[in-house]
Amino acid sequence: MSYFAQGPQQNLHAFTFSHVRAEQSLMKQKPLVIWMTGLSASGKSTIADALDLALRAQGRFTCIIDGDSVRTGLCRDLGFTDSDRDENIRRVAEVAGLMVAAGLIVIVALISPSSASRHYARSIIGNEHFVEVHVDAPLAIVEQRDPKGLYKKARSGLLKNFTGIDSNYDTPLFPEVHVQTHLFSVEQSVEIILGWMASAADPA
């Protein structure tokens, strides 16, 4: 049982449910959050989708949490100021943590620009269940790709607080996995992530 020491939650006592371990062993996989961070258009969603298909083909139980999807639902009340971005990440991390507790491999595709908030997400989920994947490509390349026309809008001033243009991105210093999508194909990036999982995060 855990207790919250202060604030309006002080009288809440979280119940420790007993089903969690049983579900994890039924799925025969190590629950994990694969947290993909990177600039818009670096390839997070594309690689998340291909990785998800590859894992399902291996018989794994997975779920994708994609930045754009959560912003139209769970986080639709949030904007793109630094504090709203932090809250967006906190909510995604909490949901991903629940899914991990249910035994899933959760693929998160979220720009998550600040290293502090990625660190916070890791602390919510737990270090042993958290893999940071830096989906990386130079700004010039992602700006050239610009599949949603967002860089163009940001450059022309129509879109404010856009990561890489007028909002900061903290480059991950020690990600567990680093894929450079200007050098590797989608398939190669998926292989790199699967390779890391096979060596470091195989089912218990």
What is the nearest approach in angstroms of ligand ADP to the Cβ of residue 52?
13
Q: Which residue is nearest to ligand ADP (CB)?
A: 43
**Candidates 42, 112, 114, 117; catalytic one:** 112
At a CB cut-off of 8 Å and minimum separation 6, what does 156 contact?
A: none
Nearest Cα residue to 200 out of 149, 144, 129: 129
Cα(93)–Cα(89) distance, integer angstroms: 6
Q: How many Cβ atoms sit within 10 Å of the Cβ of residue 31?
A: 26
**Would you tell me which residues interact with ligand ADP (CB under 6 A)?**
38, 40-47, 109, 135, 145, 147, 181, 184-186, 189
At a CB cut-off of 8 Å and minimum separation 6, what does 198 contact?
A: none
Given the complex with ligand ADP, which of 51 and 101 has the nearer CB atom? 51
SS3 98: helix
In this structure, what DSSP letter does residue 167 have? B
Length of the chain: 204
With b for 16 or more beta-carbon neighbours within 10 A and e for fewer, the 76-110 pattern comes to: eebebeeeebbbbbeebbebbbebbbbbbbbbbbb
Does residue 156 have an active-site annotation? no
Q: Which amino acid makes up residue 143?
A: E
Active site residues: 112
